A and B are shown apart, each in its own frame.
Chain A
Amino acid sequence: MATSDEDDRELTAYLDGELDDVERAALDQRLIDEPMLRARLEDLRPAAEHTRLAFAALLDTAPIADMRTRLDAALAAPRAPAAPPWRQRVAAIAAAVAIVAFGAGLTAGRLSVGSGDVVAQHDDWRQSVVKYMALYTPESFGEAVSPRLSEELASLSRRLEAPLDVDRLKVDDLSPRRAELLQYDGAPLGQIGYLDGATPVAFCILRDGEPDAAFETSSRSGFAVASWAQGGRGFMLIGKIPLDRLTTLAHSLKKKTG
């Protein structure tokens, strides 16, 4: 069964974190039931991230020195000139159908994310998590603990072949609130959601056969991140909380789920 434009709309809103809880749950169920839909989701997934990265490179080519000079002049001037020359140029270009080298001069700003070594390869999914975590709000992990949490965790345990239950996933004063099965490049990706105060924290596990990697922490896009890999599974704890707090939580999780 092929997917439709309407499916694309829903999948897009899903990927963009714009479905409400009911719509999201309905789509989650369809994704479990419909392999074609799952495949389409994965096809559509990278476009936003690729776009973001490509446009990030574009920033490096901005004529920042020129703009700064002109801004300084504008800030110093008592009033703007009555007929600034930009009007003529804007009009001229709007009138002509300009052909544009959108990213001309981009050579220096090209990207190398994900290309190359094994570490970077296995880091791709973590980058994706960082990206979609940015879309989360406290509501994303529900106002209440999922009533089906135990079942959700049992299902994750099976798919990830890792022992996961509520007790093991309790760390410090945090308890898991919901557990979801996602996927990345066809590999099962489990996500367990916590709230630290009102801040979403996610514990993610990808069973992709990646080689063991030592525990390490970093800050990415404003998130504290801990990551490690063992037994063919990659682990990641992420949240906008202090790095030392996240590190402590991650160490406990590593010990309890290893």
Chain B
Amino acid sequence: MNNGAREEVRGGLEAHLARLWRYALSLSGARDVAEDLVQATCVRAIERADQFQTGTRLDRWLFSILRSIWLNESRARRVRAGQGVLDSGEALSVDGAHEIETNISAAQVLRAVGALPSAQRETVLLVYVEGYSYREAAELLGAPIGTVMSRLAAARATLTRTHETKDA
């Protein structure tokens, strides 16, 4: 029995709840589903705590569990989450008094990221929000590093265009 690992997992879960939820939200596009995904992740992590390697990053391990639960659930129904899941059509209606920079609010950015194709959106979250290196993101996504780079470049181009349009 790997007691060290189990204690680390059980004791460490709480600190990562909010970030797991944010990742789940960006995958599923629905708040209640995100919460359920986090719960499922916690349950599985507790069950498999023995498999966690102490000395590695718990948050990364939890992210990979969450991702695999989401993919399996989607695949089981033969309904992969398509790029329409987070739809930009349902606009966020926040009054734009506060801004990140000139003319850009957090809500606008989130809407623009939400409208990206799902693979780009997930890659953006991992690298730009969660600080994954290209190599780490490629490992989690099961994609070549070049693909990670292409997705980020396409996403940057789209987000840049969106902001320029907003400025105009």
Which A residues are closer than 8 A to B by beta carbons? 5, 8-9, 11-13, 15-16, 18, 43-44, 46-48, 50-59, 62-64, 66-68, 70-71, 74-75, 79-80, 84-87, 89-91, 93-95, 97-104, 106-107, 109-115, 124, 134
In the complex, what distance in Å separates the CA atom of A104 from the CA atom of B31? 10
In the complex, what distance in Å separates the CA atom of A54 from the CA atom of B100? 8
Cβ contacts under 8 Å, B152 to chain A: 12, 16
Q: Which 5 A-B pairs have the closest CB atoms?
A: A86-B36, A54-B109, A103-B110, A12-B153, A100-B29
In the complex, what distance in Å separates the CA atom of A95 from the CA atom of B150? 29
9 contacts between A and B (CB under 8 A): A18-B149, A43-B164, A67-B35, A68-B14, A70-B42, A98-B85, A107-B94, A107-B95, A109-B106
In the complex, what distance in Å separates the CA atom of A159 from the CA atom of B95? 42
Complex contact B100–A111 (CB within 8 A): yes
| Smallest CB separation, B14 vs chain A (Å) | 6
Complex contact B37–A110 (CB within 8 A): no
Interface centre among A16, A90, A97, A104 (most CB of B within 10 A): A90
Q: Which residue of B lies closest to A66 (CB)?
A: B35
Cβ-defined partner of B98 (8 Å) among A80, A93, A99, A112: A112
Complex contact A99–B89 (CB within 8 A): yes
In the complex, what distance in Å separates the CA atom of A234 from the CA atom of B103? 25
B81 interface contact, C-beta 8 A: yes
Q: Which residue of B lies closest to A18 (CB)?
A: B134
Q: A9-B153, A50-B101, A102-B92 are in contact. Are A89 and B36 (CB under 8 A)?
A: yes
| Smallest CB separation, B161 vs chain A (Å) | 9
Complex contact B156–A58 (CB within 8 A): no
Complex contact A13–B149 (CB within 8 A): yes
- Residues of B in contact (CB 8 Å), total 78
In the complex, what distance in Å separates the CA atom of A93 from the CA atom of B5? 34
Q: A91-B73, A98-B85 are in contact. Are A59 and B18 (CB under 8 A)?
A: yes
Interface residues in B19-72 (C-beta closer than 8 Å to A): 19, 21-22, 25-26, 28-33, 35-40, 42-44, 46-47, 70
Cβ-defined partner of A59 (8 Å) among B19, B31, B70, B163: B19
Complex contact B22–A55 (CB within 8 A): yes
Complex contact B21–A86 (CB within 8 A): no
Complex contact B36–A18 (CB within 8 A): no
| Smallest CB separation, A125 vs chain B (Å) | 12
In the complex, what distance in Å separates the CA atom of A5 from the CA atom of B153? 8
Q: Which residue of B lies closest to A7 (CB)?
A: B153
Cβ contacts under 8 Å, A90 to chain B: 28, 33, 36-37, 40, 70, 73
Complex contact B107–A103 (CB within 8 A): yes
Q: Which residue of B lies closest to A46 (CB)?
A: B101
Cβ contacts under 8 Å, B25 to chain A: 58, 102
Cβ-defined partner of B104 (8 Å) among A50, A58, A85, A89: A50
Cβ contacts under 8 Å, A52 to chain B: 128-129
Interface residues in B146-168 (C-beta closer than 8 Å to A): 149-150, 152-157, 159-160, 163-164
Complex contact A106–B92 (CB within 8 A): yes
Cβ contacts under 8 Å, B26 to chain A: 102
Complex contact B74–A94 (CB within 8 A): yes
Cβ contacts under 8 Å, B153 to chain A: 5, 8-9, 11-13
| Smallest CB separation, A246 vs chain B (Å) | 23
| Smallest CB separation, A109 vs chain B (Å) | 7
